[in-house]
């Protein structure tokens, strides 16, 4: 029995979804215009679908799992659970108004027209704040709505903010933060749940590895103690003697952001020949 996964056919999630599956050791023949494929080395069938259609497929149990934007699940994914956050396609879903408008609070939207592709998300947010607005549902190019007199404000995805900027808008409320997630059908059966567990184990080692770097450096033995204190490793760093008397090589795994925090201190403490290498998989 195969596990059936939906991924976006084309768009922002497609490439990174295939990439993370590939890094998890799953090879998929990805022919152009192909809507369905079978993995070569994992019991998996891949369905290429529109992101917006995926919640319905999950609910119906036509697919077992999917890589999808969390924002889409919040909008129309009732009953669908999240097995794993995948760390890519990070964005916000926000309310925005023309730059020239003086904005004080969400109450300002009372009685106003808001253009959006996320009506449920907006309605829920406004209801929570006791605000009633007139929602205008459009499927794309939402940011143009205020400029053409269609709406007073908008609710859409914001990432760099450049689409808002180019359309003379400003972000005034962040309603939610989103990233790509691995979502699970409420109808998944036991055998396929077992396959999901295997897939999750692999994805977790990929995600952990993406966050970490393998660091090697040389240090004079007299400075070792100070240097080791700067390096929080997985367990404890490996220390090996160098051929040159009085020197050691230190190997450790460190969070990629942490490395930049400690690099100056490492050098100041006498570390030399520092190498930083990517890690392919990290199994705990
Ligand atoms: N600018 C962005 N930066 C980061 N992530 C984004 C951005 N825009 C969209 N996303 C994320 O990627 C997902 C897919 O967006 P994309 O625009 O490719 O598809 P879509 O047009 O919303 O959906 P469909 O596949 O149904 O046509 C969104 O649901 C969101 O989670
Ligand atoms: O803050 P930014 O970095 O500018 O990103 C936000 C924009 O990205 C998305 O559009 P996309 O490019 O996916 O086009 P679409 O409307 O056709 O989906 C989203 O709908 C916003 O318009
Ligand atoms: Mg888009």
Per-residue pLDDT at 233: 65
Per-residue pLDDT at 236: 80
Cα separation, 23 vs 13, in Å, equals 15
Given a cut of 50, the residues of the chain with pLDDT beneath it are none
Q: What are the structural domains, with CATH classification, of the chain?
A: 3-88+179-188 (3.40.190.10), 91-178 (3.40.190.10), 212-278 (3.30.70.120)
Atom of ligand 1 nearest to the CA of 69: 31
Q: What percentage of the chain has pLDDT greater than the value 90?
A: 90
Atom of ligand 1 nearest to the CA of 179: 31
Ligand 1, CB cutoff 6 Å, lining residues: 8, 11-13, 50-52, 69, 71-72, 89, 91, 157, 159, 178
Distances from the Cα of 137 to the Cα of 33, 92, 145, 146, 174, angstroms? 29, 19, 11, 13, 19
Per-residue pLDDT at 54: 97
Please list, in sequence order, all residues whose beta carbon lies within 8 angstroms of the beta carbon of residue 120, skipping any fewer than 6 positions away. Answer: 75, 76
Ligand 2, atom 15: closest residue by C-alpha: 140
Return phi, psi of residue 39, to 5°: -70, 150
> Half-sphere exposure of 93 toward its Cβ, with a 13 Å CA cutoff?
23
Per-residue pLDDT at 212: 92
ipTM: 0.96
Per-residue pLDDT at 260: 85
């Amino acid at each position: 029995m195969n596990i059936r996964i939906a991924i976006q056919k084309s768009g922002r999630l497609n490439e990174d979804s295939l990439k993370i599956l590939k890094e998890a050791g799953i090879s998929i023949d990805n022919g152009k215009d192909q809507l369905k494929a079978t993995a070569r080395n994992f019991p998996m069938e891949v369905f290429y679908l529109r992101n917006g259609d995926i919640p319905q497929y999950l609910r119906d149990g036509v697919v077992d799992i999917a890589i999808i934007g969390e924002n889409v699940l919040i909008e129309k994914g009732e009953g669908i659970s999240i097995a794993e956050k995948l760390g890519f396609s990070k964005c916000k879903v926000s309310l925005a108004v023309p730059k020239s408008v003086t904005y004080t609070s969400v109450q300002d939207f009372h009685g106003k027209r808001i253009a959006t592709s996320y009506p449920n998300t907006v309605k829920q947010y406004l209801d929570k704040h006791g605000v009633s607005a007139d929602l205008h549902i459009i499927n794309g190019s939402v940011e143009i709505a205020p400029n053409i007199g269609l709406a007073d404000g908008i609710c859409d995805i914001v990432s760099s903010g450049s689409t808002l900027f180019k359309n003379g808008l400003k972000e005034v409320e962040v309603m939610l933060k989103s990233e790509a997630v691995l979502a699970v059908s409420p109808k998944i059966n036991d055998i396929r749940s077992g396959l999901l567990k295997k897939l999750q184990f692999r994805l977790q080692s990929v995600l952990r590895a993406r966050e970490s770097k393998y660091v090697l450096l040389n240090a004079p033995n007299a400075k070792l103690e100070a240097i080791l204190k700067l390096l929080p490793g997985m367990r404890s760093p490996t220390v090996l003697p160098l051929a040159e008397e009085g020197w050691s090589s230190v190997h450790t795994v460190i969070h990629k952001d942490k490395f930049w925090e400690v690099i100056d201190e490492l050098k100041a403490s006498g570390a030399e020949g520092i190498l930083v290498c990517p890690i392919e998989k990290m199994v705990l």
